[in-house]
Amino acid sequence: MASSSLSSIYSPSSSFKSEVKSIHRITSSQLGSIYLPNKSRFHVYAVAREVSASLSAGNNDVVHKLKKENVGLEKNPNALWKRYVDWLYQHKELGLYLDISRVGFTDGFLEEMEPRLQKAFKDMVDLEKGAIANPDEGRMVGHYWLRSPHLAPNSFLRLQIENTLEAVCQFANDVVSGKIKTPSGGRFTQILSVGIGGSALGPQFVAEALAPDNPPLKIRFIDNTDPAGIDHQIAQLGPELASTLVIVISKSGGTPETRNGLLEVQKAFREAGLIFAKQGVAITQENSLLDNTARIEGWLARFPMFDWVGGRTSEMSAVGLLPAALQGIDIREMLAGAALMDEANRTTVVRDNPAALLALCWYWATDGVGSKDMVVLPYKDSLLLFSRYLQQLVMESLGKEFDLDGNRVNQGISVYGNKGSTDQHAYIQQLREGVHNFFATFIEVLRDRPPGHDWELEPGVTCGDYLFGMLQGTRSALYSNDRESITVTVQEVTPRSVGALVALYERAVGIYASLVNINAYHQPGVEAGKKAAGEVLALQKRVLQVLNEASCKQPVEPLTLDEIAERCHCEDDIEMIYKIIAHMAANDRALIAEGNCGTPQSIRVYLGECNVDELYA
Ligand SMILES: O=P(O)(O)OC[C@H]1O[C@H](O)[C@H](O)[C@@H](O)[C@@H]1O
């Protein structure tokens, strides 16, 4: 505790203010914000000392904690209205508004973040010029060029983008018009998209948001290696499998879940007497395993993905554009909305840059360390999947162990949410009164129904009025209990506004990543999971080999779990071996007698002879 006498704290002289101001270098406006009459001077001063100590240790983030511990949210209605008006961002041409007035950042915070935001803007300029903005993979980051090809760093890339877009439009038009026919000479009526992660989430979000009630082709997704899920999709197609265009999407061309989906679908085609190649389309990097397979097998079409477009930012590439176009969605409008938003986000005036305002609010709300979750609440059914889309975009970009200088930071912002007002009947209770570990993002859509379709379910009130009221009521109820929120407003859900929303969040993630000094464009953690899965499958093969050998001996050689682990030379993996056996037993897997030394028998029969305990049953 500072040596200052306690009296100077309780009777705040000018020297007290100047001392507090000096020890943790805050501006007078900040001092005003922490210098709250209802706070004991002693507490403020003690916290200020803590800050100065940590500042000297270079931990600038504590400064935000200080201001947040001592800054109550503005509650005066007049002051709030002024804050709303002062900070409301409006993109007139897009009809998109961004309201950050319910986030309690202070002038001092803005002042402190200004240089870091200017650096983030510079990083973005370099990125768009073709810098290696993904240093860990030595790649450029070019998703913004997809909607503004003229920005691409050379004519080769520009032409790739333009030619791919033309090819996507032409192919989609030919399928929808019936010029490209099914093998039986009819029209394609269904799309079966096989892909996972960024090769599914964007197309799923856009289909839910923008597909017309009666699209020229109806889309469904296989986005996992769950056999029951695959069977369900294929069963729902039924005889329409014959008029289904199967689009296999994989940037790497080697993702196991996608490969498995493809093999399962090709099996279904064989069993239906159909030729898969005549109905298959591949979207992947050129010369990937998938690309070569599609080329060699003569699939109907192939479209390229580029190494400078990440999966989670690929919605404006063939990944998102082809499925959307086949559903009759105006993809050029989607691109136009994204391009307009990109242009708005190139200003270096923070309060005129919506992506920067978002990133700033995220930093304030989560202390720049992900201390709170981002709850995404679109009050529009068609935007249901926006939060799932943002989960990958935000968490796979920001959830990183190390920063660009190699410091262990374990960064990230967790994202969840579904839609309002539905979620008000699920978890808003906790948001309103429970653990304060989140900030909310409302997505408001002003147009409730197409013009001329509205209906008053009671005098002067429509269904949409209720939805509007629920959003505003929840926003107020949260704020009155000091829960911060952001509101993004669009006029209606259109290709243009969806394109703008995608671009807004792509850029906000990029700016935020600069603020916290991380690479937003790689995903090292995912590789770890893929590697571990491969090891489980390798162990399973060894277990099967041991069981096959033992089960086809005469008489059968019953083994204990320990003996199985020993013969697999994996005594340390005994738990995984047990899980593997339990999973195989639950699926009544057949043991294949090596060299046909005996008749294949069910693993359960074999385990029965091993006097296994009930754990296997
Ligand atoms: O498109 P693919 O290469 O099949 O990858 C699909 C997904 O795989 C991994 O999970 C990556 O982390 C994602 O970013 C990617 O979208």
- pLDDT digits over 137-181, tens only? 999 999 999 999 999 999 999 999 999 999 999 999 999 999 999
**DSSP reduced 3-state for 307:** coil
Q: Which of 223, 306, 396 to mutate to test the pocket of ligand 1 (most atoms within 8 A of CB)?
A: 396
Q: Kindly state if the Cβ of 485 falls inside 6 Å of ligand 1.
A: no
Q: Kindly state if the Cβ of 373 falls inside 6 Å of ligand 1.
A: no
- Ligand 1 nearest-atom number relative to CA 305: 1
Task: Categorize the per-residue pLDDT at 609 as very low, low, confident or very high, splitting at 50, 70 and 90.
Answer: confident
88 C-alpha to center of ligand 1: Å? 36
Shortest-distance Cα residue to atom 4 of ligand 1: 250
- Ligand 1 nearest-atom number relative to CA 523: 12
**DSSP reduced 3-state for 566:** helix
Task: Categorize the per-residue pLDDT at 67 as very low, low, confident or very high, splitting at 50, 70 and 90.
Answer: very low
Q: What is the DSSP letter of 599?
A: -
1 C-alpha to center of ligand 1: Å? 52
In DSSP notation, 332-360 reads HHHHHHHHHHHHHTT-S-GGG-HHHHHHH
- In angstroms, how far is CA 325 from the centroid of its own chain? 22
Count the neighbouring beta carbons within 10 Å of the beta carbon of residue 480.
11
Distance CA 324, CA 247 (A): 12
pLDDT at 34 over 50: no
Shortest-distance Cα residue to atom 8 of ligand 1: 197
Contact 133, 141 (CB under 8 A): yes
pLDDT single digits (tens) 506-533: 999 999 999 999 999 999 998 888 888 9
73-82, 315-324, 511-520, 588-597: segment of lowest average pLDDT: 588-597
pLDDT at 40 over 50: no
Task: Categorize the per-residue pLDDT at 331 as very low, low, confident or very high, splitting at 50, 70 and 90.
Answer: very high
Select from 327, 276, 287, 304 the least CA-distant residue to 167. Answer: 304
Return the pLDDT at 320.
98
pLDDT at 192 over 90: yes
197 C-alpha to center of ligand 1: Å? 5
Select from 476, 179, 172 the least CA-distant residue to 325. Answer: 172
Beta strands 590-591 and 601-602, pairing class: antiparallel
Task: Categorize the per-residue pLDDT at 550 as very low, low, confident or very high, splitting at 50, 70 and 90.
Answer: confident
In DSSP notation, 95-144 reads TEEEE-TTS---HHHHHHHHHHHHHHHHHHHHHHTT---BTTTTB---GG
Mean pLDDT for the chain? 89
Q: Kindly state if the Cβ of 391 falls inside 6 Å of ligand 1.
A: no
Contact 254, 290 (CB under 8 A): yes
Return the pLDDT at 9.
33
**Residue 569 is encoded by which pair of tokens?**
């030379």
Contact 400, 514 (CB under 8 A): no
pLDDT at 593 over 70: no
Q: Which of 388, 391, 526 to mutate to test the pocket of ligand 1 (most atoms within 8 A of CB)?
A: 526
Task: Categorize the per-residue pLDDT at 53 as very low, low, confident or very high, splitting at 50, 70 and 90.
Answer: very low
Return the pLDDT at 612.
60
pLDDT at 563 over 70: yes
Cα separation values, 47 from 23, 67, 295, Å? 11, 10, 66
**DSSP reduced 3-state for 524:** helix
Q: Kindly state if the Cβ of 259 falls inside 6 Å of ligand 1.
A: no
In DSSP notation, 529-555 reads HHHHHHHHHHHHHHHHHHHHHHHTSSS
Return the pLDDT at 71.
64
Helix (H) or strand (E) holding 202: helix 201-210
Q: Which of 134, 194, 196, 522 to mutate to test the pocket of ligand 1 (most atoms within 8 A of CB)?
A: 196
pTM of structure: 0.88
Distance CA 125, CA 466 (A): 43
Backbone phi, then psi, for 49, in 5-degree steps?
A: -65, -40
Q: Kindly state if the Cβ of 261 falls inside 6 Å of ligand 1.
A: no
Task: Categorize the per-residue pLDDT at 6 as very low, low, confident or very high, splitting at 50, 70 and 90.
Answer: very low
Q: Which residues are catalytic?
A: 396, 425, 530
Contact 110, 360 (CB under 8 A): yes
pLDDT at 277 over 80: yes
Share of the chain above pLDDT 70, in %: 86
- Dihedral angle, C-alpha 126, 128, 131, 134, nearest 10 °: 110
Return the pLDDT at 43.
42
Tell me the CA end-to-end span of the chain in Å, nearest whole number: 65
pLDDT at 31 over 70: no
The alpha-helical segments, DSSP class H, found in 441-571 are 463-480, 495-515, 524-551, 561-567
Average pLDDT over residues 565-583: 94
79-93, 126-140, 390-404, 550-564: segment of lowest average pLDDT: 550-564
pLDDT at 558 over 60: yes
**DSSP reduced 3-state for 445:** strand
> Token pair 């510079």 is at which residue?
122
Shortest-distance Cα residue to atom 2 of ligand 1: 250
- Ligand 1 nearest-atom number relative to CA 199: 1
Return the pLDDT at 5.
38
